[in-house]
Structure 1
């Protein structure tokens, strides 16, 4: 029990959650010498590989993790979502998340929650103990509250994210250095407030692993020149987690989890270019760069990653597909997606799912009609600018998100994680905190 709780006379259980964005479970399991601290959690507690959501994209995943509900409930389907009844799109922010987060539930119980660097939390909430917003936030001066937290983060030159542009260079040394610096400053803030011991829920996310994986995952898999640098970064990440673990009292359970897995990337697939070539998509002019540039003959379009929408009458402003033809048209598009191959005959799509099979909730009007999961090696892109080819193997990224092989590790033995997914994390945290909830509050279920 911490000093603050002793002074309060409280003995409520506590949870420290550490997010490791994009870290596949297999990476941890295959490298025990690199992940000494996480291996200790695996051996002394409970751990396993879990599934992500459709689509396995950071912007959709973290609202799902923190609410325990699918995108149909959160209202966040990806990095770019469509306005209802419009072709205008927007980047989701914290206020677009339509369900209670775990820290809202903690606060409602009169307990304290400290929240650090969770994607899709800008602007920072002022009804929680303290919060610094994560990915998709501007500079720290407007992304942290209260003032004491903001001042400290400015003092240590805290970074919300790694500079991904450095990863575009062939020489990755500056990129790795920046990733280490970002991680170290993140860790300095995490340790200060974890050791402050005045919280019931500490919820912090390390985002840098996702960035490192995007630009160096192929080096790890192939044994390339930067494999050593890749593993050195992860060794430092593991040390950071070990430092937090050592600082926790006996009343606190450590939970570590990632939002999706990772795979090597061989080729980007420009889905809207493919749709245009196959006669599904057309534009008003040759100078097109946005969804709003589509013309009245468009039958379907894509938003990333792998989200496909029919241009439906009554839903889209200039819908061309009658509602009476919805099912047949969607099935036609599904078949064509499932048949998609590279020029040398390799199949691209692993699975295509219909929206009613994976999304449930009140935000149906902006849900994709189909979601395609690619086979390993392919990344489904969806910008609206023209491309010379559908398949592009020249991009700087060498790693891609995967639906399977996200990770969860709980510093508590005897917890079964078989058949679990990221929607189970929020109710598990609530159960560990001994906060009551209705089974219908979550799409997931507690693992405890």
Structure 2
């Protein structure tokens, strides 16, 4: 059996990788493409990192694993809670491998905190709080901390501190690359995976610098900004080369991304649109809580502003410790200038609401939502059909053109035991150049539906990610017909000669498997369940959740 190496380039878009590797700008990826297979790996709907990575690591569609965003509504309220890895009800890829006696090494994959015991080691990724145990075995955290390892960046995008932000992204990419090579050489492994996340974040904030067709493109900006995305991808490509070399010749290599990237033009506030159609009601603007929030905001006393100030003074660790001592008392101060989602809506009079990324709409259904008012299947279907009809009539007044490309119902996209978490409708707008985003459910101006993103982002996600495969069990010079991200899990298990759970939705990607291996090794599917994960002691409380929410906000994911 050959070893298996997977390198994730978060958000790497197929068109850019094809172009830059073809031009020789990404020589290590180009070499893998020349000696193996290359094609499109389609993401999930919504085209969102937590959803896509959860499908990757379970081999299942979102209706099975239940992750549609970074947050999920509490079953007994409208409060939105950050989703953790131990809330995904299916076993992870490395859990399955470990149970079948394969040794694994996993670094920086999103949706892996808190860490789970594996046959090997695991270092968690996006969604990890600072100053906590982030590895299995737990003592690996101390060892890595002594070496200067960081899961998270120090700084977040600020248009006044762009160079500092870019330097931080390069430093963290270097740290993750060095750590991967070091652990690959020190630890035994059959399966090894590392994800470089900053290849996604830089596209969110720097797309306009590269894209001459973007409305915010400025031709007089320095070349270092115009080529910033390419330069970070070249750094990742350097580490791809070093990691592949360290893995050795008897290793099958898979390079993948959870989704692609492209330009972003406008945020859409669907709750404002629902309010205009009398489907959503807001709470009383003169409530006591609103007066309190307005008063403290006038003095700049918000959780966001305090966090920013402490981070700039290099006192972030003190901030984290204070929050953990305060517990849920941190919620006394407003997070920023916006109303909290669960307090802003009069749920007893609201028929429909929206939260989350990429056009998720929910019907306030009696028996599912705590204050649901739509009380029958016929009323549900009639309302849903009415909303779909009106969505297709939605136009942007700036150009008078329709906005909505497609409206999907939940049954169009999903199936499975966690379908109850799925949006009732999912709206795709202008090929993902118009989006909704979590934390920006409401506009500053009541009734405003469209505007340029408050976050300063000029890029966002696209369905077309990348899939590159090369190695002793991979055919050469072969194009891959478009595959789904959940297809990778059964394919990786097959390459490690593991049994494949019959519960997986993903299908074996025979395009990337040599015909001789397919003839010699029949895929083995099993009904035997993999034992559920065991948790180790980590920190998760109101303060930890608040820290992750703030981090996701500053990455552009949460408001």
Residue in structure 1 matched with residue 461 of structure 2 by the alignment = 401
Match of 1:235? 234
- Per the TM alignment, residue 115 of structure 1 is displaced from its structure 2 partner at its CA by 1.2
CA distance in 2, matches of 1:140, 1:432: 36
Moved over 6 A (4+): none
Aligned to 1:298: 350
Of residues 130, 154, 157, the one that matches 2:145 is 154
Change (3 A) 1:56 1:145: same
- 2:8 aligns with 19
CA positional deviation for 1:126: 2.3
Q: Is the 8 A contact 1:119 1:133 kept in 2?
A: yes
Relative to structure 2, which stretch is displaced further, 346-355 or 410-419?
Answer: 410-419
CA deviations over 1:58-96 (Å, ceiling 9, x no partner): 111111111110111112111111123432321110101
Structure 2 equivalent of residue 181 of structure 1: 171
Q: Does 1:447 align with 2:509?
A: yes
Distance 1:164 1:72 in 2: 35
Distance 1:298 1:382, change over 3 A: farther
Q: 2:409 aligns with which of 354, 360, 366?
A: 354
- 1:332 maps to what in 2? 386
- Aligned-residue Cα RMSD (Å) equals 1.9
Partner of 1:281: 280
1:432 partnered with 2:488: no
Q: 1:82 to 1:141 in 2, by over 3 A?
A: closer
| 1:331 CA displacement | 1.1
Give 1:303-322 correspondences, 5 Å limit. 303-305=355-357, 306-322=359-375
Deviation at 1:164, TM superposition (A): 5.8
Name 1:378's counterpart in structure 2: 434
Q: What secondary structure is seen at the aligned counterpart in 2 of 1:353?
A: strand
Report the CA distance between 1:25 and its aligned residue: 1.0
What is the distance in 1 between the residues matched to 2:91 and 2:142?
A: 28
Distance 1:236 1:192, change over 3 A: same
Q: 2:98 aligns with which of 101, 107, 116?
A: 107
- 1:212 maps onto 2:202 in alignment: yes
Q: Could you tell me how far apart the structure 2 residues matched to 1:419 and 1:290 are?
A: 38
- Whether the 8 Å CA contact 1:161–1:207 is kept in 2: the answer is no
Superposition deviation, residue 107 in structure 1: 0.3
Secondary structure in structure 1 of the residue aligned to 2:402: coil
Contact 2:267 2:450 in 1 (8 A): yes
Report the Cα distance in structure 2 between the residues aligned to 1:214 and 1:162, rounded to whole angstroms. Answer: 16
2:469 corresponds to 1:410: yes
Residues 214 and 163 of structure 1, relative CA distance in 2, 3 Å threshold: farther
- How far apart are the structure 1 equivalents of 2:453 and 2:356? 19
User: What TM-score do you get using the length of structure 2 for normalisation?
Assistant: 0.74
Shift of 1:394: 5.0
